[in-house]
Structure 1
Amino acid sequence: MKHSPRLWTVISSSVLVASLGAGATACGSGDNPLSARPYDAGDQVAINQPSGGRPVDPKRPLEVTTKGHGARITDVTAVDTHGRRLAGELSAKGDRWHSTASMAAGTRYTVTVSTENQRGAPGQRTMTFDTTPSKALLQVKLGPQAGRYGVGQPLTAELSEAVKDKAARAVVERGLVVESSPGVEGAWYWVDDKTLHYRPKDYWPAHSTVSLRSNLEGVRITDDLNGAASKPLKLEIGDRVEAITDAAAHSLTFKRNGEVINTIPVTTGKPGFSTRNGVKVVLGKQYFVRMRGDTVGIGGSENYDLPVYYATRVTWSGEYVHAAPWSVGSQGYENVSHGCTGMSTGNAAWFFENITEGDVVKVINSIGEDMAPFGNGFGDWNVDWKDWRQGSALLKGTHVNHNPVDQARLRPQV
């Protein structure tokens, strides 16, 4: 009984080998057309673009048809020099294939047509042709610059021409490719006709890698506008740093990766100059800034001219976190600034060394206005995710633009 299974295995294998041997001739390349090398199908199919000739109009659809002879088209691939495949549709009879999307301008296409004859033997034809370049190009400037940033840094795309049509906006968005490791959910938001911002649903994961590239080169955006080449960029995301200022408690809590590592007494904007509530993103750092009230419309008894050190900028209108040795007596007790967050020189130096561009600075419990989403820095995180998604041309819903901050209402701070 112990040997029966082994004997059965040997017998089965013998029968299998015999069967394969008996069928070897029937399955040979001489009788099975599917195993043959594809024949040249050049005399069986026609393509409406001249191979290797003068560049063709990319607006003209690509079409492949059969010439009869009982052949049928089984597949068509048209790929440009960037590896982008042209979408198309094959008829049920296999006698016609046509493109269903516009070809890219200023590029070369390689078209491979697969066929089969009446006996089922495979044929193939390959050809190349160039498309004429576009006279009008949409330049896309991607931002920020490549480098290391905090978890709150949005991505930006600045367009050289206004794009208003929703279908054209969708083309632009599809061509702006964002990749992150680890992957996260994110979306573009049209700030205006020439500006897009991209952010994830939540902050970028700490220590993640983010890349952004434009795949719009040659792509038709409108009848008279095609995409231009653009330089890609790569961001390295650092620790999750959040600086949370409680204007009512006159205190700044500094967190790294969820852990509180410092609590700093501060002063924020006094009545009439109250610091804006909400999430802001660090725009940059300057060791020294001369701050003058008269250059930003503050005069009279409120005017100032001060040398300021260890200045971390969070709005374009002049809100900083910086050293304020003149208000040390008020720090931790009352708000006396013109809108900035002030702290001692020692604390400001520590903050300056531990904060980086793209880190999150949040103000709570201020009697001031809310931080605007756009126009005065990066207030993107103050838009609810549901509303943010509505700012994309690829998602259904009404797009409600958050208007940039009225510059006349910006209050300079110190």
Structure 2
Amino acid sequence: MNDTPRIRTVLSCTLLALMVTASAGACAGTDGHPLSAKPYDAAEQVSFNAPADGKKADPDKALEITAQGDDGRITDVTAIDETGHHLAGELTADGQRWRSTGSLTAGGRYTVKVSTEDEDGAPGTRTFTFETAPAKRGLTATFGPEAGTYGVGQPITAALSMPVKDKAARAVVERALKVRSTPAVEGSWYWVDDKKLHFRPKEYWPAGASVSVSGNLAGVKIGDKLYGGESKPLTLKIGDRIEAVADAGSYSMTVRRNGEVIKTMPVTTGKPGFSTRNGIKVVLGKEYFVRMRGTSVGIAEGSSESYDLPVYYATRVTWSGEYVHAAPWSVGSQGFANVSHGCVGMSTGNAAWFFETVRPGDIVQTVNSFGDTMDTFGNGFGDWNLAWDKWRQGSALVADAKSAAHQPDPTRLQPSI
């Protein structure tokens, strides 16, 4: 019993010694150097291939950083441009060389931090900056339509300043073209041709949505000697969901706003030989007055089908001349027969109401006609007639995308009635 206090004293001293040892170990690295030691200046230990004296680096050449001598090695490299993008790279196993594997941004400014250690394991660091030369060729995208408020069927368009044919280059471009919607939607770009893309959601845009489009292409390497340039962003507002369905079989048109029927009216559509196109079309614009001639759609002057008429309240749905418009000369047939040359005709009062109700981007669909289906591209916006899985195949980002035949660019022909 007399030894108990002594045993406790010995145990306490031993525990204190262990605590002191642990504290000493916590303040040093595994190589024996204090972790709080300031890294030495490694300026003499590394070199890089970026030009000196304020000259700009060639963005087509990889950045290389090399350890000098045999008394140290590179342990890490971080290269970041002014936009916050990291430049990817690889460090050799012996730490003697780091080389960029990602593409440098043209016209960019990089800050590079190199971490090293000497032969004794002491840490070093070197930080330097350099700029890359601007691109000699800059690919830009012009977005459409113009800023404003549109219907739920309005596709976004991107017109490129030069053609892009290579699939890998297309993927770079497509990744940089950003479409954001509030509320969010699922959507995709479709390459109409080498210089034109369309974007649409899987379903129609939500009524009241806000849509912003940007092209983050500036300085991005797209292909051999080809970089992106600045593209002006676009902001759109989506209005109510207006859908008009013209039924050629019942000679009527039904118009819905946000799912509720707001008007049903008698119409006439294309007669045999001039049948109205089936399918979904998008309002392209509105013209209070249009002079319509049969010669503009291939009808010989003086033939039994020839016409030359003043037309009012004309809402255009194809570039080739299909409209929804006032047709007072056919009021007796509206609701009973199809007698037009392809347009949807109605009374002047109904045409005026329709003209004032719809806006570009609204949906006009024709059903039960003997006409062909609306072209997907080339004669307005027939984008919604393509099933979603096939639409996705038009994206360069889809692995199994298949090439598809496309219609030529739209030719603004004169209207038919």
What TM-score does the superposition give when structure 1 sets the normalisation length?
A: 0.86
Q: Distance in 1 between matches of 2:119 and 2:105?
A: 35
> 1:239 maps to which residue?
240
> 1:131 maps to which residue?
132
> 2:59 maps to which residue?
58
> 1:196 maps to which residue?
197
1:45 Cα deviation after fit: 2.8
Structure having the higher Rg: 2
Q: Identity over aligned residues, as a percent? A: 61
Q: How does 1:280-295 map to 2 (within 5 A)?
A: 280-295=281-296
1:286 Cα deviation after fit: 1.6
Contact 1:289 1:308 in 2 (8 A): yes
Name whichever of 60-69 and 144-153 sits farther off.
60-69
Name whichever of 57-66 and 269-278 sits farther off.
57-66
Q: How does 1:153-172 map to 2 (within 5 A)?
A: 153-172=154-173
Q: Distance in 2 between matches of 1:193 and 1:399?
A: 15
Contact 1:219 1:226 in 2 (8 A): yes
Contact 1:246 1:363 in 2 (8 A): yes
> 2:13 maps to which residue?
none
> 1:73 maps to which residue?
75
Name whichever of 379-388 and 68-77 sits farther off.
68-77
One-letter identity of the residue aligned with 2:364: V
> 2:348 maps to which residue?
345
Q: Distance in 2 between matches of 1:270 and 1:176?
A: 43
Q: Distance in 2 between matches of 1:176 and 1:22?
A: 59
Q: Distance in 2 between matches of 1:35 and 1:335?
A: 88
Q: Distance in 1 between matches of 2:19 and 2:65?
A: 41
Deviations 1:14-57 (A, max 9, x none): xxxxx999988876799985556655433333222135521121
Q: How does 1:318-329 map to 2 (within 5 A)?
A: 318-329=321-332
One-letter identity of the residue aligned with 1:356: R
Name whichever of 180-189 and 124-133 sits farther off.
124-133
Q: How does 1:10-409 map to 2 (within 5 A)?
A: 33-35=34-36, 39-51=40-52, 53-67=54-68, 69-79=71-81, 81-115=82-116, 123-298=124-299, 299=301, 300-404=303-407
1:173 Cα deviation after fit: 1.0
| 3-state SS of paired residue (1:302) | coil
Q: Distance in 2 between matches of 1:345 and 1:304?
A: 19
Name whichever of 367-376 and 62-71 sits farther off.
62-71
Q: Distance in 1 between matches of 2:313 and 2:232?
A: 33
| 3-state SS of paired residue (1:301) | coil
**Which segments of 5 or more consecutive residues in structure 2 lack a partner in the other structure?**
1-17
Q: Distance in 2 between matches of 1:116 and 1:252?
A: 79
The RMSD of aligned alpha carbons is: 2.8
Q: Distance in 1 between matches of 2:333 and 2:20?
A: 97
Contact 2:319 2:410 in 1 (8 A): no
Q: Distance in 2 between matches of 1:155 and 1:332?
A: 36
Q: Distance in 2 between matches of 1:89 and 1:190?
A: 34
| 3-state SS of paired residue (2:295) | helix
One-letter identity of the residue aligned with 2:58: D
Deviations 1:156-187 (A, max 9, x none): 11122221111111111112122222222211
Contact 2:27 2:35 in 1 (8 A): no
Contact 1:73 1:95 in 2 (8 A): no
Contact 2:140 2:217 in 1 (8 A): no
Q: Distance in 2 between matches of 1:20 and 1:360?
A: 78
Distance 1:121 1:150, change over 3 A: farther
Contact 1:185 1:200 in 2 (8 A): yes
1:296 Cα deviation after fit: 3.4
| 3-state SS of paired residue (2:168) | helix
Contact 2:293 2:416 in 1 (8 A): no
Deviations 1:102-161 (A, max 9, x none): 212233223233445677766443322222223233232121222211111111111222
Name whichever of 390-399 and 40-49 sits farther off.
40-49
> 1:10 maps to which residue?
none
Contact 1:73 1:96 in 2 (8 A): no
Distance 1:64 1:342, change over 3 A: same
| 3-state SS of paired residue (2:128) | strand
One-letter identity of the residue aligned with 1:70: G
Distance 1:296 1:392, change over 3 A: same
Name whichever of 272-281 and 214-223 sits farther off.
214-223
Contact 1:142 1:155 in 2 (8 A): yes
| 3-state SS of paired residue (2:365) | strand
Distance 1:77 1:304, change over 3 A: same
Paired residues in the alignment total 394
Deviations 1:283-318 (A, max 9, x none): 111222222222333232222222222211111001
What TM-score does the superposition give when structure 2 sets the normalisation length?
A: 0.85
Q: Distance in 2 between matches of 1:406 and 1:270?
A: 28
Name whichever of 260-269 and 101-110 sits farther off.
101-110
| 3-state SS of paired residue (1:291) | strand
